[in-house]
Amino acid sequence: MRVLSIIHQPDAASGVFGDAVRERGHELDEWDISRSSDPPAPIELYGAVLVFGGAMHADQDERHGWLRDENALLQRLHTDGVPTFGVCLGGQLVAKALGAAVRRMPSSEIGWFDIDLTPDAADDPVFGGLPERFKAFQWHNYHFELPDGGVPLARNDRCLQGFRAGTAWGIQFHPEVTPENLAEWLRTADPAEDGPIDIEALRAESEEYIAGWNAFGRDLCGRFLAVAEDAGATRPDATTRATSPRS
């Protein structure tokens, strides 16, 4: 299977999700949509799409015109039933493409926070079987609402943390983050945007949790890829997608 990873800046890339793609024997194409208007191959060739984070916000179409193109692409993927998984900004963009509100939070959520699965998560093909409560790494100033017809999968006391809508999933936390990316985010943190952060305390806490968190991230992505594999096996054009030449 060919997997498309949509990124918005180099230090918020596929991370351990990329490891999970390669471990399952798939091909990963990483596309920085903020720098190139065209993906590495025609969209029709991808059996799954991952959408990652970035310092920009979902309501900044005027500043980042490519967000409009990404919105149209995510709507198309949803209509075509292509399994899609959005992380943080990516989850917000998926929710926005499906008509949900994305709003600035009263204050940022940055650091390690407990997240609880909802009762609906037990029957979800990606979230089912995950721990009912887990500590997650967060770095966001906005949050998404639930799209119409969507299923809430995870929450905490700050906001909705995960949902499914058709063949699209969105999460607010960062299970893809690598130690290297996290170190860069701490180095470049903007107090004006993110609020006060105790960098040293967060760095120490991250050293304690990051190894287990990376294992969680690879597992979560693997669960999503298993869904995409099943969808590709039953999709009428699966053979065509697999054998079409690269553009």
Instruction: Look at residue 240 in the predicted model and tell me its pLDDT.
Output: 42
Which residue's structure tokens are 């905490």? 156
Instruction: Look at residue 245 in the predicted model and tell me its pLDDT.
Output: 30
Is residue 161's pLDDT more than 90? yes
Short-list 51, 64, 88, CA closest to 162: 88
Give per-residue pLDDT as tens, 180-235.
999 999 999 988 888 899 999 999 999 999 999 999 999 999 999 999 999 987 65
Structural contact between residues 172 and 88, judged by C-beta atoms closer than 8 angstroms: yes
Instruction: Look at residue 127 in the predicted model and tell me its pLDDT.
Output: 98
Is residue 164's pLDDT more than 60? yes
Architecture of domain 2-243: 3-Layer(aba) Sandwich (3.40)
Give per-residue pLDDT as tens, 56-104.
999 999 999 999 999 999 999 999 999 999 999 999 999 999 999 999 9
Structural contact between residues 46 and 131, judged by C-beta atoms closer than 8 angstroms: no
If you compute the radius of gyration of the chain from its CA atoms, what whole number of angstroms results? 17
Q: Which H or E run contains 188?
A: none
- Cα separation, 153 vs 194, whole angstroms: 26
Is residue 129's pLDDT more than 80? yes
Is residue 51's pLDDT more than 50? yes
| pLDDT more than 90, % of the chain | 90
